Structure 1
């Protein structure tokens, strides 16, 4: 008589359980998505005010309450860095994740979660900057980067944070797109896509210009508030995110 010993069956572990591991992988070098964005945000904010104070010094007759100064371009510095960093992530951590046997879907979900957390952090930082500028009346001289009084009419502090978060999220997905496209197609096709995108943008600009539609475009923008603009931006981000998923399914690590 023979006996057999039943082997215990191990519970099936969902592949999605590895998403947090991919999320932590993106923060393995903490300065990339934490300390450098914070430093760039603060430096750009300070540099923007340096420019504003320089401009203010050239207009001694300026009445601050009636003639506020704005330098909203300084708020873009962190976004451009995050877009570059997202592309760097797609180029460098994607092959590493495959070496760790992460599926492409799990890697993408963990990476998107990283982008979302970082974008929300940028939105909160923009809200804090807005609050400080409004509370101090533009540091006592009505000079604004995030907290322009005109923003109160389109969403206020929360609206600024929503738009900032969505814009940061979109550009991170956009930077990631180019890195994954590079791993999905050949160099000639990559340059074809780049040139094609430029041609489409120039074509749209030319079409609007020749038909004198810019006043209508401006009127449409003026009709929006921060939340509708954030909604359109989020929709564009979702479409871009789906495109990234389609590309990464066939992307290679080489």
Structure 2
């Protein structure tokens, strides 16, 4: 751990960027949604529920990938081992995910106190993400950051290890992983059953439980890949 913390501090050189870009883009998405639904919110039963929150997750994924492309060669030049570097990146992602989860929860409290910004809008807490337990709510916000962050790290390491061809293979693999089950479900007529299964799951299970397992798999895949990654 005494080697991991100094390696982590290297990444904190750009801490304003780590905070400014995700939250700047999230704020932009929020303003656009607020302006849009202020005009048409009364026509939506139960108030508008938006997906604008996903923007902060996408930017965090890109930022996690950039932590590899920007700091991996530099860290190895400072005689930081691959294992230590990966532990530092993972620790930073964990701390960032927790911080963002808490910040989103605070935004949810403001949204609830203002009755959805005066128009019953669910931006920070759309109905499908809601939990009345503060700890569980933070987990629901936090775990998807880990999933997308580790995916961004893994994708960047794939590019470091195999170049652009590796990214193409990864993209094809992902399309197959998502597309083949969709074809099978369509062929067997299982979409109603699949929809019922998802509907029976709690927000905690869908956004924290299963994704936590996926985050562990992606973290393990990244650890295996970085062993052979080159600068």
Work out whether 1:245 is the aligned partner of 2:187: no
Which stretch shifts more, 32-41 or 203-212?
Answer: 32-41
* Aligned equivalent of 2:201: 224
Equivalence for 1:22: 7
Q: CA deviation at 1:53?
A: 1.2
Q: Residue in 1 aligned with 2:156?
A: 179
Tell me how large the CA RMSD over aligned residues is: 2.0
Aligned with 1:120 (options 75, 90, 98): 98
Q: Does residue 200 in structure 1 map to residue 185 in structure 2? A: no
3-state DSSP of counterpart to 1:69? coil
Give the equivalent residue in structure 1 for 2:192: 215
Counterpart Cα distance in 2 of 1:211 and 1:155? 38
Q: TM-score, normalised to structure 1's length?
A: 0.83
Question: Does residue 169 of structure 1 match 2:146?
Answer: yes
> Could you say what secondary structure the match of 1:70 adopts?
coil
- Check whether the contact 1:131–1:157 (CA below 8 A) recurs between aligned residues: no
**Structure 1 residues 150 and 88: alpha-carbon distance in aligned structure 2, compared to 1, 3 A threshold:** closer
Which residue pairs with 1:67 in the alignment? 46
1:52 aligns with one of 28, 31, 37: 37
1:53/1:159 Cα in 2 relative to 1: closer, same or farther (>3 Å)? farther
- Which segment is superposed worse, 138-147 or 163-172? 138-147
Judging changes above 3 Å, is the alpha-carbon distance between structure 1 residues 80 and 150 closer, same or farther for their aligned structure 2 residues? Answer: closer
Count of matched residue pairs: 230
Alpha-carbon contact 2:128-2:203 (below 8 Å) kept: no
| 1:130 equivalent in structure 2 | 108
Counterpart-to-counterpart distance in 2, 1:130 and 1:157: 10
How far apart, in 2, do the equivalents of 1:40 and 1:80 lie?
A: 10
Question: How far apart in 2 are the matches of 1:175 and 1:143?
Answer: 30
Task: Report how far residue 157 of structure 1 moved.
Answer: 4.8
Mapped partners of 2:125, 2:166: distance in 1: 43
Q: Distance in 1 between the 2:15 and 2:69 partners? A: 18
Residue aligning to 2:125:
147
Contact 1:133/1:146 (<8 A) preserved: yes
Q: Deviations over 1:107-151 (max 9, x none)?
A: 001100111111112211221121112122212221211234565
Range with bigger deviation, 188-197 or 114-123: 188-197
Q: Is the CA contact (8 Å cut-off) linking 1:104 and 1:248 kept in structure 2? A: yes
- The residue number in structure 1 matching 2:76 is 98
> Unmatched 5+ residue regions in structure 2?
none
| SS of equivalent to 1:28 | helix
2:129–2:140 contact (8 Å) kept in structure 1: no
d(CA) in 2 for partners of 1:237 and 1:221? 20
* Separation (CA, whole Å) in 1 of partners of 2:107 and 2:195: 27
Please identify the structure whose Cα radius of gyration is greater: 1
Secondary structure of residue in 2 paired with 1:145? coil
